[in-house]
Amino acid sequence: MIFPSIPLLAASGLVLGVSQAAVIRKEGRTCRKTQVAVLGAGVAGITAAQSLHNASITDFLIVDRNDYIGGRMRNTKFGKAPNGKPYTVELGANWVEGLESESGNVNPIWRLAKKHKIKSKYSDGDSLLTYDETGYYNFTDLVDEFDAAWEIAMKDADSIKDDNLQDTSVRAGLSLAGWKPKKDMHAQAAEWWGWDFEMAILPEQSGFLYDMYVNKAVFEHFSDSTELVIDQRGFNALIIGEANEFLKKNDPRLLLNSPVTAIKYGSSGVTVHLEDGDCIEAEYAICTFSVGVLQNEVVKFEPTLPRWKREAIEQFQMGTYTKIFMQFNETWWPRDTQYMLYADPTERGYYPMFQSLSATGFVPESNILFGTVTGTQAYQVEKQTNEETQTEIMEVLRSMFPNITVPEPTSILYPRWSQDKSTFGSFSNWPPGMTLEKHQNLRANVHRLWFAGEANSAEFFGYLQGAWFEGKEMGDRIGKILNSDGALADGEGELTRYDVLHGDTFKDEYDDANGWTIDLDD
Ligand X SMILES: *[C@@H]1O[C@H](CO)[C@@H](O)[C@H](O)[C@H]1NC(C)=O
Residues marked as binding for FAD? Answer: 260
User: How would you class 32 by CB atoms within 10 Å of its CB: exposed for 0-12, middle for 13-18, buried for 19 or more?
Assistant: middle
Separation CA 493–CA 490 (nearest Å): 7
**Can you point out the beta strands (E) in 120-203?**
120-122, 128-132, 135-136
What is the residue-wise DSSP string for 6-69?
S-HHHHTGGG--S-SGGGS--SS--EEEEEEEEE--SHHHHHHHHHHHHTT---EEEE-SSSSS
Does residue 56 bind ligand X (CB under 6 A)? Answer: no
> Is residue 204 flagged as an active site residue?
no
DSSP type of residue 165: P
Smallest gap from residue 262 Cβ to ligand X (A): 28
Smallest gap from residue 299 Cβ to ligand FAD (A): 5
Using H for helix, E for strand and C for coil, what is the string for 235-291?
A: CCHHHHHHHHHHCCCCCCCEECCCCEEEEEECCCCEEEEECCCCEEEEEEEEECCCH
Is 172 in contact with 212 (CB distance < 8 Å)? no
Does residue 298 bind ligand FAD (CB under 6 A)? Answer: yes
Q: Which does 150 bind (CB under 5 to 8 A by kind): ligand X, ligand FAD, none?
A: none
Residues contributing to the annotated binding site? 260
Is 92 in contact with 195 (CB distance < 8 Å)? no
Q: Which does 66 bind (CB under 5 to 8 A by kind): ligand X, ligand FAD, none?
A: ligand FAD
Separation CA 229–CA 367 (nearest Å): 17
Smallest gap from residue 346 Cβ to ligand FAD (A): 26
Q: Which of residues 461-480 bind ligand X (CB under 6 A)?
A: 472
Does residue 407 bind ligand X (CB under 6 A)? Answer: yes
Residues near ligand FAD (CB under 6 A), total: 39
Using H for helix, E for strand and C for coil, what is the string for 138-156?
A: CCHHHHHHHHHHHHHHHHH
Does residue 162 bind ligand X (CB under 6 A)? Answer: no
Separation CA 355–CA 341 (nearest Å): 9
Smallest CA-to-CA distance from 461 within 198, 239, 285, 104 is with 198
Does residue 416 bind ligand FAD (CB under 6 A)? Answer: no
Comparing every residue's Cβ against ligand X, the nearest one is 135
Does residue 338 bind ligand X (CB under 6 A)? Answer: no
Chain mean position to CA 226: 16
Does residue 321 bind ligand FAD (CB under 6 A)? Answer: yes
What is the residue-wise DSSP string for 381-430?
HHHS-HHHHHHHHHHHHHHH-TTS-PPPPSEEE---GGG-TTTSSSEEEP
Separation CA 134–CA 323 (nearest Å): 24
Sequence letter at residue 458:
A
Smallest gap from residue 148 Cβ to ligand FAD (A): 25
Q: Which of residues 65-124 bind ligand FAD (CB under 6 A)?
A: 65-66, 71-73, 92-95, 97
Comparison of 12 and 290: residue with beta carbon closer to ligand FAD: 290
Site string for ligand X, 31-50 (x = CB under 6 A): ----------------x--x
Given 90, 97, 191, 470, the catalytic residue: 97
Binds ligand X by CB under 6 A, chosen from 4, 21, 29, 141: 141
Does residue 259 bind ligand FAD (CB under 6 A)? Answer: yes
Smallest gap from residue 466 Cβ to ligand FAD (A): 6
Q: Which does 50 bind (CB under 5 to 8 A by kind): ligand X, ligand FAD, none?
A: ligand X
Binds ligand FAD by CB under 6 A, chosen from 44, 57, 153, 312: 44
Comparison of 213 and 427: residue with beta carbon closer to ligand FAD: 427
Separation CA 119–CA 121 (nearest Å): 7
Is 68 in contact with 236 (CB distance < 8 Å)? yes
Q: Which does 136 bind (CB under 5 to 8 A by kind): ligand FAD, ligand X, none?
A: ligand X
Smallest gap from residue 300 Cβ to ligand FAD (A): 10
Residues annotated as catalytic are: 97
Residues at the interface with ligand X (CB under 6 A): 47, 50-51, 54, 135-136, 138, 140-141, 329-330, 402-403, 407, 472
Q: Please give the residue ranges that form the binding site for ligand FAD (CB under 6 A).
A: 40-45, 63-66, 71-73, 92-95, 97, 259-260, 288-290, 293, 298-299, 321, 417, 422-423, 426-427, 453-454, 462-464, 466-467
